[in-house]
Structure 1
């Protein structure tokens, strides 16, 4: 005769099953997957062979005349969000909403949609021009706070092959050989005459003793697919969490945006959960103590906080290092943040060559 199992154990098993299923449903709704598609793209293989030397900021080159078509009107920060089902609907007039709400706006004219399509179909075997930095790796010391002080390491890799690019931001909290928490934020896409054009963004987080979680964003011409799978109208010039820093470098390196305290730089920003009309305020010049010595840098910070736990970053760009980021302060809230400070001289690829003949670096 079998001994009946205590009913309490059965109830506990059912409760545990419900909790596990609920957790998986929540992760799927938020766009996080542990082992399903799509896989992250393979990292470009580029040899980084020389230390970058400090140099005088390059003289701003004269820019070619802009196209005659009018510049797109910036989206007001107070514009309301559009649901995914409104991708083909008429876009209403913007109305005020409470601070912190995301904004989305459809392309304003067929000409803009055609321009995005042309940029996305640019040949991948051509050279984008000398204004883009060579492939570069920047290594950082990490400090911060997450339920107490944390430390670790991080690196940013900017990789180029023809018109194709990748940006990887790898962060590890804890010992380098066995981090307790690690996150990789990766962007890939094309370099165009109007700057970086992301095609996809991947964010993968690994906590010790648990499965990796991944969220992906896809840029589909006039639409963007968020991590949840929802599609929304996208704006021209949109950047993702990783590409935005190199876009800022390019804007200042080429003189398309002047560096002046009090000015703002704005572009659409697509984060895994929602879109924003994002703005950075140029705070001013600051001296940073680094292993390369004191570095003059320009401090930029967001003019607003993101919503729903999205991350916001302040950045310090060094003119003597091609306006690359020498410090990044990434916040979730006032008590949760990481601070990345340049650890050593950046490593770069050798000067690009044509038919085996090295190109001279512009001074």
Structure 2
């Protein structure tokens, strides 16, 4: 008490003012950081707005069937060219001297006629062949045919999962995966809801958008949209460019060939096995570069072995794949169980942030597909 009396009211007032100044400074810094983040999200949305969602009508239920390698698109054979008709061999005849001199006098005119005939013949030879029973297709139809990626890609598919896991305690919920494609364009949407469906505590959508090519999936962008009850909505985006990727905080990083994102990686694995490019066997390691929101990983999956899972479609044989390395800094890692009898689609997914935070998705109903 005596110490406080010696300090007097002016000293206490200075101390209170100093504390208030520190608090105000921290508040201003926090507000500025929030404004910077908001500006970044706004600028990202202005530069690269989220693409509209593709539409598909899921009209048939998948039935488990023995796997078979899907045929890939064969290259187009070259257009055959017309060959000139064979010229019969003419035996040379000995001409009388008078006839020979006449031929020599008319040689320039004959050569000119021969050159003209040769030019006409070559012009006819260079013309494309005419096939009466195969009329030419309009340019729009040819472009549409060239845009079709081929039969090795699954039709648009919807899978629904039951969710269990742990997030500050046991949680339950539901999830859905939609694989959508139109020509060479594709989208993958993984929607996860923790808690009751009418008012989820946490919901997250992981979306990939890009193109299909000879080496599989080529992402153009990835969006991760998270909503937490009583908290601000948060979205991060990863943009893919030739040779590099723009991460969720705006930093640029080198992107190796074949890089995938959090959502596209599962369909890329399906495509590798469905087409026979990789043969499933215990111990097989699949190199799969992965661009997550915070960094690019030299990712790899190891095939652990076969497991039979109980599903609404009955027992299904699956192959269990597990990442070989850990994600860091809050990035997510995923284990996957692929079912050969369901076109190697994921029957089970286990997505983990750390040992105490994870969700486990198990197929809830038979998958639905669109007509090709």
Q: TM-score range by the shorter chain?
A: 0.7 to 0.9
Residues 71 and 152 in structure 2, CA contact (< 8 A), matched pair in contact too: no
Residues 123 and 163 in structure 1, CA contact (< 8 A), matched pair in contact too: no
Query: 1:7: Cα distance to partner?
Result: 6.6
Distance 1:24 1:257, change over 3 A: same
Question: For residues 21 and 293 of structure 1, what CA distance do their matches in structure 2 show?
Answer: 54
Matched, 1:348 2:369: yes
Query: 1:223: Cα distance to partner?
Result: 1.4
Q: Determine the structure 2 residue equivalent to 1:188.
A: 209
Matched, 1:324 2:345: yes
Question: For residues 182 and 18 of structure 2, what CA distance do their matches in structure 1 show?
Answer: 61
Distance 1:63 1:123, change over 3 A: closer
Distance 1:289 1:222, change over 3 A: same
Q: Determine the structure 2 residue equivalent to 1:99.
A: none
Distance 1:11 1:334, change over 3 A: same
Matched, 1:240 2:250: no
Residues 253 and 323 in structure 1, CA contact (< 8 A), matched pair in contact too: yes
Distance 1:189 1:124, change over 3 A: farther
Q: Which has the higher helix share?
A: 2
Question: For residues 320 and 352 of structure 2, what CA distance do their matches in structure 1 show?
Answer: 15
Question: For residues 28 and 134 of structure 1, what CA distance do their matches in structure 2 show?
Answer: 38
- Please list, as runs of the form range in 1=range in 2, the aligned pairs for 1:286-325 lying within 5 A after superposition: 286-325=307-346
Q: Determine the structure 2 residue equivalent to 1:94.
A: none
Higher relative contact order at CA 8 Å, sep ≥6: structure 1 or structure 2? 1
Residues 72 and 151 in structure 2, CA contact (< 8 A), matched pair in contact too: no
Matched, 1:211 2:240: no
SS at match of 1:251: helix
Matched, 1:44 2:54: yes
The aligned length equals: 289
Distance 1:62 1:213, change over 3 A: closer
Q: Determine the structure 2 residue equivalent to 1:112.
A: none
Give per-residue Cα distances to partners, 1:328-357, cap 9 Å, x unaligned.
00011111100000000011102x2xxxxx
Residues 183 and 204 in structure 1, CA contact (< 8 A), matched pair in contact too: yes
Residues 156 and 180 in structure 2, CA contact (< 8 A), matched pair in contact too: yes
Question: For residues 188 and 65 of structure 2, what CA distance do their matches in structure 1 show?
Answer: 23
Give per-residue Cα distances to partners, 1:238-263, cap 9 Å, x unaligned.
00000000000000000101100011
2:155 to 134, 143, 146: 134
Structure 2 gaps, min length 5: 1-15, 76-142
Task: Tell me the TM-score normalised to structure 1 length.
Answer: 0.73
Question: For residues 174 and 326 of structure 1, what CA distance do their matches in structure 2 show?
Answer: 21
Residues 33 and 214 in structure 1, CA contact (< 8 A), matched pair in contact too: no
Q: Determine the structure 2 residue equivalent to 1:75.
A: none
Question: For residues 296 and 144 of structure 2, what CA distance do their matches in structure 1 show?
Answer: 28
Distance 1:210 1:123, change over 3 A: farther
Q: Determine the structure 2 residue equivalent to 1:269.
A: 290
SS at match of 1:203: strand
Residues 189 and 208 in structure 2, CA contact (< 8 A), matched pair in contact too: yes
Give per-residue Cα distances to partners, 1:183-240, cap 9 Å, x unaligned.
1000010000110000001111011122211111111111111111111221111000
Deviates more, 1:264-273 or 1:122-131: 122-131
Query: 1:20: Cα distance to partner?
Result: 3.7
2:359 to 338, 342, 349: 338
Distance 1:251 1:222, change over 3 A: same
Larger Rg: 2
Residues 124 and 164 in structure 1, CA contact (< 8 A), matched pair in contact too: no
Residues 69 and 276 in structure 2, CA contact (< 8 A), matched pair in contact too: no
Distance 1:230 1:125, change over 3 A: farther
Distance 1:13 1:165, change over 3 A: same
Question: For residues 63 and 133 of structure 1, what CA distance do their matches in structure 2 show?
Answer: 14
SS at match of 1:183: strand
Question: For residues 177 and 72 of structure 2, what CA distance do their matches in structure 1 show?
Answer: 29
Q: Determine the structure 1 residue equivalent to 2:4.
A: none
Distance 1:174 1:22, change over 3 A: farther
